[in-house]
Amino acid sequence: MIHYSCDRCKREIDADSDLRYIVRIEIEAAMDHMAGEVVDDQDHLEVLEDLLESSDDYCESSLSDECYQRKRYDLCGECYRQYMKNPIGKEASLPFGFSNN
C-alpha cells in the first residue's frame, strides 16, 4: 500500500480516512520583454522567428529553471485549506472588518 505524507506539515495522509489534495504548479517565464527589443525596420515574420529561436536558446541554457518549473505537492485537508487561503504566499492581509470605513 502506498503511503502519502503531506508536503507541508509532513503528516501522514491515511488514504482511507483522509482526503489527499494534489497541487500542481506550473511556472513559465513570460517572454514578453523580448518583443520589446525588436528593431522597427526588421521584417515582422523574421523577427518572430528570431524571437522564437532566441527564447528556445534562453530556456535551454542554465537558466532553464527560471523559464519553466513544474511542481507537484501532496497536501492533507488542513494544509489544502491553508494553502487555498494564500496560494501565492502573499503578505498576510488585514482581517475582514478591520477597516473603519
Q: How far is the CB of 79 from Zn ion (least distance, A)?
A: 3
Among 8, 34, 50, 55, binds Zn ion (CB under 5 A): 8
Q: Does 6 bind Zn ion (CB under 5 A)?
A: yes
User: With respect to Zn ion, which residue has the nearer C-beta, 12 or 56?
Assistant: 12
Q: How far is the CB of 8 from Zn ion (least distance, A)?
A: 5
Q: How far is the CB of 20 from Zn ion (least distance, A)?
A: 10
Residue 73 in grid coordinates: 505537492
CB 54 within 8 A of CB 34: yes
Please choose, out of 2-10, 25-33, 35-43, 66-74, the segment that lies near Zn ion by the rule CB under 5 A.
2-10
Question: What own/partner pairs with CB < 8 Å and gap ≥ 24 does 6-10 have?
Answer: 6/74, 6/75, 6/76, 6/79, 7/73, 7/74, 7/75, 7/79, 8/73, 8/75, 8/76, 8/79, 8/82, 8/83, 9/76, 9/78, 9/79
Among positions 39-98, residues that touch Zn ion (CB under 5 A) are 76, 79
* Site residues (vs Zn ion, CB under 5 A): 6, 8-9, 11, 76, 79
